[in-house]
Structure 1
Amino acid sequence: MYIAQAFKGDNVSWKFWITTLVCGGIFIINFISYLLTSPEDMEAAYEMLKSIPKILGLILNLIPFVVLLIFLIVFVVFMHKRSFLSLTTSRSKIDFKRILFSFLLISVLTIGGFVYSYYSTPGEVVWNFEPGKFTVLVIVSLILFPFQIGFEEYFFRGYLMQQIGVAVKNKWFPLIFTSVLFGVAHSANPEVAEMGYITMVFYIGTGLLLGIMTLMDEGLELALGFHLGNNLLAALLVTSEWSALQTDAMFKYVNEQATDAMVNEMLASVAISYPIIIIILAFTYKWKNWGDKLFGKVVMPVEQVTENGIGK
């Protein structure tokens, strides 16, 4: 079991809190700042960020995740005394084919959806391609986005889901809790201010999708590929004045504000696209025992009981 991999390490509570506060501090500070800042000041902050060159803004946005991912790995390996593999998967080695499959799946669906939207609502999106700027964007994105999505997956679906799971001894609570937490962590994004709190359905729904992938597949590989494909295309394919990522993407939304149709598209992805993705993955990887994998108990593996000296 994936969650039970945490039993391989030292799970004393103070180590959990140090790791969580240091690695998750950026989300906590961001959320508190968002709550204490007036809408007018928040709008001014967004406008100030727009004045920064797009590629510089992207780099400044992503660089902290490089440091945070390194911190998380160091804490898990040296303080919790666990392997990086145990944080990634319950398999004997990381399955890179799964990462690639999930990456290609979301890429095909996203591009297909964009092409349909582009031709069904002409004039809403315009060509924004500048070869020089786009080339730099591709290079920066390929270097830094793996750290950003890596940290979010290893922290939310990896570290927190495992540590909370072994503490509460079940799977449903860490699945729901980390999904909501993932949504709250993105609540300060400009899209939420622009589209309203209904957007949180998308973020929490995405967290739930990634969590189900992780539990059903007993590892983070599918979630890593999905998250990377989603974020890369968000940066490279289309940008807008109100998105969290201001980039020199290939296309750009003409509207300076989000429309109801855009909100509906976002909600439709959760209600329609996400279940389809789950069905495709379930068929591909022959997922079984849904009840146990999503709602069952978390127990220490027999070999770990012996190694820890429990029951001797």
Structure 2
Amino acid sequence: MFIEQAYRNRRNLIAYLPFPLVFLGLMAANFMVSTEDTNTIIRNEIARYGKSMFFFSNLVPFAILMLLLFFWVKYMHRQSILSLTTSRPEIDWHRIFFSFLVWGGFSTLLIFISYQSDPESFLFNFNLRPFLALALISLTLIPFQTSFEEYLFRGYLMQGIGLVSRRKWVPLVATSVIFGLLHGANPEVEKMGYILLVYYVGTGFLLGIMTLMDDGMELSLGFHAANNITGALLVTSDWTVFQTDSVLIDKSEPSAGLEVIFPVLVIFPILLFIFSKKYQWSGWKEKLFGKIVLPPVENQNPPL
């Protein structure tokens, strides 16, 4: 039912192109015109402005982009933000918070295990005042960053590609692959190699499957926010896209091996199992691979 929420937009499919094309074009142009590698740019900007200000300045544009996307959906597509978010009568905040707590707990546990198994690879970096500033920025702005990405990929593009393809697996695969490839410019990929894209694409599939099986984006919104907030607050390094005044600084030399594949093959299926039991998912084949059957378009304009 989630993709079918956008059924009125079938007459205006061309309107799905401008926003993502402009966004993707700006991302590609920024990557191509840069004369320095991403990590060098980040280090120079941090040296100039400091970690907190650099972090803040990188998150603010996502809040603006999310508002622009909402404006585009509401006034160009005449679609409500509720129907872009979920097929339920209202947004289920309990689902968002449950997903946030589950993945936040998983992430914290994995970081704790890594620290306990090899404490010499970490620098204890906790400093109250910088950390409080970081926490304020993270809790205020990271949800905008992660929500924009979710609304763009698991909402807007999932529904738009679904309207064109009429097959649910097509938007699932397309949005997951695009989502993963867009992370190719991250300094982690420069440091560890393109095998890291397996994790990013796998994360895209996890979020897409949760959205289709649950008929809404609430679980993906909670997961993505927890992932980035936990990472920003608890552990960063000098080669990641988030370089903050976190509690721990990872000083180890990164390597792309089992740690890249393990979450995709083991942890993500466990998460899907937890959510499927919690929310009693059924009909996996139909929800992930079935046809998209659209109802007749009503003559009257939908409410904004």
TM-score range relative to shorter protein: over 0.9
1:168 deviation in Å? Answer: 0.8
- How do 1:201-240 residues align onto structure 2 when only pairs under 5 Å count? 201-240=198-237
Give the counterpart of 1:268 among 244, 247, 262: 262
Q: Summarize the Cα distance change of 1:270–1:135 in structure 2 as closer, same or farther, 3 Å threshold.
A: same
Q: Who is 2:298 aligned against?
A: 307
How far the C-alpha of 1:83 sits from its partner, in A, is: 0.5
Deviates more, 1:106-115 or 1:157-166: 106-115
Alignment partner, residue 15 of structure 2: 15
Alignment partner of 1:47 is 2:38: no
Task: Report if the CA contact (8 A) 2:7-2:297 is conserved.
Answer: no
Separation of aligned partners in 2, 1:19 and 1:10: 17
Displacement of 1:17 in angstroms is 1.6
Deviation at 1:49, TM superposition (A): 3.0
* CA distance, structure 1, for counterparts of residue 133 and residue 54 of structure 2: 13
Partner of 1:174: 171
Q: Is the 8 A contact 1:30 1:188 kept in 2?
A: no
For structure 1, which runs of at least 5 residues remain unmatched after alignment? none
> Separation in 2 of the partners of 1:227 and 1:201?
17
Deviation at 1:13, TM superposition (A): 3.1
Give deviations 1:46-92, integer Å, cap 9, x for gaps. 43234231111111111111111001000111110011100000011
Question: Please, which runs of 5 or more residues in structure 2 have no aligned partner?
Answer: none
Moved over 6 A (4+): none
Could you give the per-residue CA deviations for residues 182-212 of structure 1, whole angstroms, max 9, x where no partner exists?
0111110000000000010011000100000
Q: Identify which of 254, 257, 263 aligns with 1:258.
A: 254
Q: Distance in 1 between matches of 2:291 and 2:193?
A: 37
Q: Distance in 2 between matches of 1:82 and 1:65?
A: 21
1:48-63 equivalent positions in 2, closer than 5 A: 48-51=44-47, 52-63=49-60
1:197-235 CA deviation, whole Å, 9 max, x = no partner? 001001100010000000000000000000000010010
Post-superposition CA distance 1:86-131 (Å, at most 9, x none): 0000011100000011000001111111111111123111211000
d(CA) in 1 for partners of 2:30, 2:62: 19
- 1:1-312 alignment, distance < 5 Å: 1-9=1-9, 11-22=11-22, 25=23, 27-35=24-32, 37=34, 41-42=37-38, 44-51=40-47, 52-255=49-252, 257-260=253-256, 263-301=257-295, 305=296, 307-308=298-299
Structure 2 residue matching 1:126: 3-state secondary structure: strand
Counting matched residue pairs gives 299
Work out the CA distance in 1 between the residues paired with 2:162 and 2:241: 31
Q: Secondary structure at 1:205's aligned position in 2?
A: helix
TM, length-normalised to structure 1:
0.91
Deviation, 1:163, is 0.6
Secondary structure class of the residue paired with 2:298 = helix
Alignment RMSD (CA, Å): 1.7
Deviations 1:218-263 (A, max 9, x none): 00000000000001001001010001011000111123x4235xx5
The alignment's TM-score, normalised by the length of structure 2, stands at 0.93
Per-residue deviation, 1:10: 6.2
Shift of residue 308, structure 1, vs aligned partner: 4.3
- Whether the 8 Å CA contact 1:31–1:187 is kept in 2: the answer is no
Task: Tell me, in whole angstroms, the C-alpha distance in 2 between the residues paired with 1:133 and 1:47.
Answer: 18
CA contact (8 A) 1:175 1:208 kept: yes
Structure 2 CA distance, aligned partners of 1:147 and 1:43? 23
Measured in 2, the distance between the counterparts of 1:82 and 1:11 equals 13
